[in-house]
Structure 1
């Protein structure tokens, strides 16, 4: 009787080679080509479900690259795609990746990431990953749903218990993200997401890149498309469209510049004086002509102290009063303050802005504040009104320069007595600066 043959050892299955390695444990395997039909079908699906991004999606130039982990973009609107990633990803999810990558470019994460790194001296691989994560936090809450399924492992602010709707810079300031660094080490959306160039990118001199003018033109067309069809885009995209070519201004500098411009305008604080005769007197023998002498201008600040203005806004108004006194050369004796709701109080000379008491709390009618300012003696050269704008305005321009600092309010404010009430906008004769 023959003895049974010993069992043959089972050979373990060789591990799958990394994407683009071109080999396996059994020898070389064919290099996986990029499935262009699948990739471009996914782009068409992205255009179908996010039509307001069509111009940007078609502006991207695709570059096949096996060294890219998934898909990535550079600052010149090239999209680098891994053939292995395209092969294993469903079309609907690929469409979401298209929208994700083009969102980085539209939101200018490249330029913003560079500025953040320069201002905070935040360089290196770890800081690059933090910027990429924060940029993903900013855009991912506007991408998925309505035809774009959310893939497993998508990076969202709730991973760090952070609120949605913030900007990349706000996420970078409020979270270290060190807890996500290990599990998201694979994340790499390219320099278009964080401002740091990669070895596999073609650079500024490479082929098929868009110039700065071309990139701005794409952003402009997308922004105009979003604004032209209200309600078709999420809130984050609508906010971006409004601010894309009208970025928020440093309102403290603008308000100070408006006041300095008003007090420095011709005719403000100028009087004729005989203390020093005019040089033109030499051309008129026997006639003494006065010279034009510039005296320090007077500023009256009318502060809206009605019930619709919060305590925090009143506090910021007093800070602006102090800044206005500096704008006129630090002469507090030349600055007076009127608190006004439905009625104007007495004009109070400025001593210390932080100790000034603002009286009000009722309705709003700044016309009485303007009238009180013009009745005060001597009459001011400039009137600065700090208000939420929910007030009637004088029907005629005052005989002096006017600057209006507006506390921000919704586009359509309502009233308990009249739900259809819409406040008047500041008159065209006033220089308007939005505060905050």
Structure 2
């Protein structure tokens, strides 16, 4: 690790403000590729249009977690050797290429097309750990601790309101059965926009000290492993991600293949979910100030229990079902947006000075393990016939989608036993914690 590291205290207020604007702008261009794969229905509808089965679709939503849990920690070493800006440039080109591959997949013919789209999802998943590992050292250099909550809230609010408006408009334009070329065009443009992330990050001036040719990878990893609160928090995040990671994409799949709604309806409802993310990000900074990080994290955990439970009762005979699912998608995305902001804020608070890249990679690895296992488990449960396709209780019929919602709610309830791993719950300890 480099002996000297840039901190926000070395920058003037004007310089720090300008760099924050560049950081915001980088996400405004890169966010479309992130949101399209993880929160929008576009890729799911694209898969369905190409004749892909449910197992492969759910597997594609878990690829980012699967790849990241193996690559995030090595990626932190790459960041320390090459520097954050070079790594983000590399990741941006990889992201662009992956989306262009997905857009071109139908030209290969129907048998191969779904697998080329899956390959594109995999290649994009390789870019994510590189971006994430490089992102936190950049933020550590331009943000004071007191600025982190507002920055993460506004950053994600701004790019989700941008993507939410765009994807909602696309849902209106595409109709119930859009042509393949329309989705190809959307995906291809998204890939080109991903290059904008590198353009704006390159404008942030970081000193040579953020890159070290003598980086002690094992020493940095040992520092993180010996940081008890960091490890405990990472385990908690992993378990929470495992319980909730499949819920939002599974809900979109349930709308399409379980309830048989039209593509435009699914995309509009998914845009309602993005609106939930927008509200969560917008109010995050004020919620932290009013409730405190600890109480907010308790509220998020409660939402992770109640939202899947609500979806469990959303059967085909329920009155006002689209509105009800839309509200639950809104609430689920709002809770998840607060979860990601709190996670980012606490990760920076727990990272020892000089060990930001590795500490962030360490916690992100655990988050991605939970995400990958949760979504892969949902994929296997849907595709292998382990769960009954339909069952009834008390005269009410339930599908296998609803069964998974119930399992997720019960898991989140069980993981309440781990709340003492949250550093804000036990803030006084011997290890490093700088909220």
> What TM-score, normalized by structure 2, do the two folds share?
0.26
Which is strand-richer, 1 or 2? 1
Which is helix-richer, 1 or 2? 2
> What TM-score, normalized by structure 1, do the two folds share?
0.26
Larger radius of gyration: 1
